[in-house]
A = this chain, B = another copy of it.
């Protein structure tokens, strides 16, 4: 089994081996890939699927410091078998109409990996994915209206690495509106807030840490608009990937741990 297999965290902590910092970040871009196949106007925007566009954006911004693969719902185990997840440093997730088709065993597996140190980026309608709801514990519901009007993404934490090199605001010409109340736990860090032409606001860039894993939710990105071609959106996703990567070389699931001996002061 590879060195990245999850280990239970039941021994005295070792000095962890760090991967050489020069190693590229390995990103697995997961896409539901249904709208793109079934709906011509989406296929026109994303002829090879949104996952491909997202992957290319990462390569464009991060160059040789990233290694990207993609996986989609209709692959065996949704392309998310143990080996694929162990390979990845960071997983990005876009899903919408087929959340229910994602198998619970796969969700269990992804959750275990995230709690063990796999970084996770949840994009747009992924707010309602099983994996995000599982990790948040809340309904993750929100308000919405698909009227293809403007969104602006404002930085409220300019010192955060995910905001690096990002204009304030990002201007997106056509987007679906996502508004509050967004039923998530208070994020550990709030990086972006969006405004919409209809006057609504949304906490559009939120970080969460769970177990040994880092999670970044970023809301821009509906299938009906070419949002993932937007260079600033690509930049945010690239920054998110860099932030979400655990520099440690191994993956550990926090575990129940019996401390047999009382140590003596």
Q: Which of chain B's residues have a CB closer than 8 A to the CB of A169?
A: 199
Tell me the bound Cα distance from A256 to B128 in angstroms.
10
| Whole-angstrom distance between the Cβ of A55 and the nearest chain B Cβ | 23
Q: How many copies does the complex hold?
A: 4
A20 is an interface residue with CB less than 8 A from chain B: no
- Residues of B with C-beta under 8 A to A195: 195-196, 199-201
Interface residue ranges of A178-213 to B (CB < 8 Å): 179-183, 185-186, 188-190, 193-201, 203, 208-213
Q: Interface residues of A: mostly helix, strand, loop or mixed?
A: loop
A76 at the interface (CB under 8 A from B): no
A7 contacts the other chain (CB 8 A): no
Tell which of A25-33, A43-51, A247-255 binds the partner.
A247-255
Answer whether residue A2 sits at the interface, using C-beta atoms and an 8 A cutoff. Answer: no
Central interface residue in A115, A117, A158, A200, by most chain B CB within 10 Å: A158
Taking beta carbons and an 8 Å cutoff, which residues of A are in contact with B?
Answer: 9, 12-13, 15-16, 18, 111, 115, 117, 128, 134-139, 141-145, 147, 149-150, 152, 154-159, 161, 164-169, 177, 179-183, 185-186, 188-190, 193-201, 203, 208-214, 246-248, 253-263, 265
Closest 7 CB pairs of A and B: A183-B254, A198-B262, A159-B212, A135-B137, A143-B257, A141-B256, A145-B259
